[in-house]
């Protein structure tokens, strides 16, 4: 009884207040009960204080280059029947010549070297390349092959001339680069070296285009014969002072695998290749090759031929081929044109000619006379359009005359 009374008195004791029954509240604002997430600043990397952003320039150039795309022009030169078209189709996994017909002997007797240009758009992993292949059917097929390469030289010079005109024109934003960046020269494997025509062609073009010598149909030779032919071809190239495309030297900070790859590419010149677009089943593997009674030649097997090395050359040095064309061959052509004191002109049919400063002056006066006569005799929208075109031509000719005057003054100062 007494214990019950004592428990009742303790429960009703004034020491316990109503506040004791309320939930506990934090006594200090320094320990909040809720955690707040801090938003990251997208313009300042938190882990790199003092970051300016210059290291992002390669990414910007990469994005613009991929969006714009690339242009590359490849020329193939060699006798008929050496597998030029087959090799190109094998390299780029496409059929550039679906309607080609092999000409007869009578047609070859009268046929001259012509230029066959094919353009195709190739996309690989989001990278677009506008590939232009320049074929030269009829080269070396005639009885008298004297100067049979003049049409090829003319074509290369015309592309240089067109690019020079586009650079000197008013609209330079969308210049199409059709200059020849690389030339695969096919060597006959049964010729025991270079023929006189091969030597003359390469000596005429080695200062205008990047020449890559290729031994065609290497499957007709044994490994020992391929090694002997390669050595003889390179000895004759050095003997005649021919400059083939030089692979760039590796920097000291390059990876060892890349150095080994470049060294193997240099040792493989001239490339002994085999081309085939036929897919065969070899031991459960799908390979591209040629079927023979004694076995299969695998095109992409480096133990069988140098096709994979030639493809690697295009894949890893395509930009260098373009830069050498721009900085060496085109600059040589441009400096030679400017040193001769001549300027390019385009006729109404699109052909290019060379004119001196005096002819430019006379042409400018003729243009002014024709413009005046057109203004007096022409009527309507057609006459106004022609008058506007003539005025634009006059502005271009005046600009050329000023350029020629400055060049002549510089030449006189040097003398």
Kindly report, residue by residue over 404-415, the tens digit of the pLDDT. 777 777 767 665
Residue-wise pLDDT tens digits, 93-110: 777 766 666 656 555 555
Structural domain spans, the chain: 59-339, 351-414
pLDDT at 345: 42
Query: Is the pTM value of this prediction over 0.85?
Result: no
pLDDT value for 378: 45
Residue 183 has what pLDDT?
94
What is the pLDDT at residue 355?
A: 45
Q: What are the two backbone dihedrals, phi and then psi, of residue 37, each rounded to the nearest 5 degrees?
A: -85, 130
CA–CA dist 315, 285 (Å, integer): 24
Task: Say which residue the tokens 């008298």 belong to.
Answer: 144
Tokens standing for residue 382: 């057609």
* Strand extents, DSSP E, 209-319: 211-215, 271-272, 279-282, 285-292, 295-298
Q: Are 363 and 397 in contact (CB under 8 A)?
A: yes
**Residue 339 tokens, joined:** 């040193």
Q: What does the alpha-carbon distance between residue 121 and residue 58 come to, in Å, rounded to a whole number?
A: 25
Pairing label, strands 271-272, 127-135? unpaired
Out of 3.30.70.3000, 3.30.390.30, 3.40.50.300, 1.10.10.10, select the CATH number for domain 59-339: 3.40.50.300
The series of mean pLDDT values per 10 residues for the chain, 415 residues long, is 51 48 50 56 62 71 73 90 87 72 57 79 82 86 78 92 86 83 93 89 93 93 93 94 90 86 91 89 86 88 91 90 92 87 45 45 44 45 62 75 75 65
Beta carbons within 8 Å of 324's beta carbon, 6+ residues apart? 210, 245
Omega within 30 of 0 (cis) for the link into 199: no
């Amino acid at each position: 009884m007494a214990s019950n009374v004592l428990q009742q008195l303790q429960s009703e004791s004034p020491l316990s207040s109503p506040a004791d029954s309320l939930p506990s509240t934090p006594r200090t604002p320094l320990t909040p009960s809720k955690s707040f997430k801090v938003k990251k600043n997208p313009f300042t990397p938190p882990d790199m204080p003092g970051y300016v952003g210059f290291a992002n320039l390669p990414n910007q150039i990469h994005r613009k280059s991929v969006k714009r795309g690339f242009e590359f022009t490849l020329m193939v030169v060699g006798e008929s029947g050496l597998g030029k078209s087959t090799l190109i189709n094998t390299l780029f996994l496409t059929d550039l010549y679906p309607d080609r017909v092999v000409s007869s002997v009578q047609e070859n007797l009268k046929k001259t070297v012509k230029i066959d240009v094919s353009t195709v758009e190739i996309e690989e992993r989001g990278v677009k390349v506008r590939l232009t292949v320049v074929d030269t059917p009829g080269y070396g097929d005639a009885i008298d092959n004297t100067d049979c390469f003049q049409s090829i030289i003319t074509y290369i010079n015309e592309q240089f001339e067109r690019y020079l005109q586009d650079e000197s024109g008013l609209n330079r934003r969308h210049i199409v680069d059709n200059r020849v960046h690389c030339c695969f020269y096919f060597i006959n494997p049964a010729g025991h070296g270079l023929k006189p025509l091969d030597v003359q062609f390469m000596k005429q073009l080695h200062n205008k285009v990047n020449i890559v010598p290729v031994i065609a149909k290497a499957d007709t030779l044994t490994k020992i014969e391929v090694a002997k032919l390669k050595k003889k071809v390179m000895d004759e190239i050095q003997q005649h002072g021919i400059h083939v495309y030089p692979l760039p030297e590796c920097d000291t900070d390059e990876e060892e695998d890349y150095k080994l790859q470049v060294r193997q590419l240099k040792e493989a010149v001239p490339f002994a290749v085999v081309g085939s677009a036929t897919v065969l089943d070899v031991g459960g593997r799908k390979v591209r090759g040629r079927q023979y009674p004694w076995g299969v030649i695998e095109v992409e097997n480096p133990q069988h031929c140098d096709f994979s090395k030639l493809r690697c050359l295009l894949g890893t040095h395509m930009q260098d081929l373009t830069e050498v064309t721009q900085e060496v061959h085109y600059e040589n052509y441009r400096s030679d044109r400017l040193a001769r004191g001549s300027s390019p002109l385009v006729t109404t049919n699109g052909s290019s000619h060379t004119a001196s400063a005096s002819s430019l002056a006379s042409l400018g006066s003729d243009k002014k006379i024709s413009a005046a006569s057109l203004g007096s005799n022409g009527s309507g929208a057609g006459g106004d359009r022609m008058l506007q075109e003539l005025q634009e031509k006059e502005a271009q000719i005046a600009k050329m005359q000023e350029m020629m005057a400055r060049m002549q003054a510089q030449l006189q100062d040097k003398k």
